[in-house]
A and B are shown apart, each in its own frame.
Chain A
Amino acid sequence: EAQVTQNPRYLITVTGKKLTVTCSQNMNHEYMSWYRQDPGLGLRQIYYSMNVEVTDKGDVPEGYKVSRKEKRNFPLILESPSPNQTSLYFCASSLIGPTNTGELFFGEGSRLTVL
């Protein structure tokens, strides 16, 4: 089954404790991206990647890191989480190129609470 898998789905942590949210897709998509979703602010892009070893900042990259060492994986790293990073996080992937719709496939989300 084609899917984007995120882990963990739920996490409560404390300020300053490094954490990683994993994302894996089995569709051989070149493009992967992380979003955070907050009430009234919609989905805001954190980082995206066009392919292996190619990453770029989205609209709200501060406090986050990513890596793309393999095509299927795109982990989101919070080196020193702070309470303002409490949010619902989504990973998404898609094909790229002019011959497709650019449909984004989303994971089920990871709800992170930083105390």
Chain B
Amino acid sequence: TQLLEQSPQFLSIQEGENLTVYCNSSSVFSSLQWYRQEPGEGPVLLVTVVTGGEVKKLKRLTFQFGDARKDSSLHITAAQPGDTGLYLCAFRDSGGYQKVTFGTGTKLQVIP
């Protein structure tokens, strides 16, 4: 089983600060997804990255896929209280979308 390690595990910051969350593995991914989970709800997809070195932007969120496709990062600019939640990276088996493995998650709290 491929393991996805996320860091930091917890993050508490003030509104307006910037932050970066990391997702790492020793194995190569065919693609990687980022989800956000709010309390009492299921995770919701934010983005899928496929190409090594790819950068995708979603408003104040910037996602990067490492050149070697073994790691990814999520950068949030000027965090807002609405960004509070659990951020999860995940990958799907390249051989047919069978298994989806999730990282352990980063719990983010943005204080107003």
Contact = CB atoms under 8 A, between A and B. Distances in A.
**B contact patch SS:** loop
Interface residues of B, number: 25
Interface residues of A, number: 28
A72 B101 CA distance: 23
Contacts of B105: 42-43
B100 A45 contact: yes
A41 B4 CA distance: 11
Interface string A69-93: 0000000000000000000001010
Interface string B6-41: 000100000000000000000000010101000011
Given A43-B90, A101-B33, A108-B41, 20 more contacts: A4-B42, A42-B104, A42-B105, A43-B88, A43-B102, A43-B105, A56-B98, A58-B99, A59-B101, A92-B100, A96-B96, A97-B97, A101-B45, A102-B31, A102-B33, A103-B48, A104-B35, A104-B100, A108-B40, A108-B42
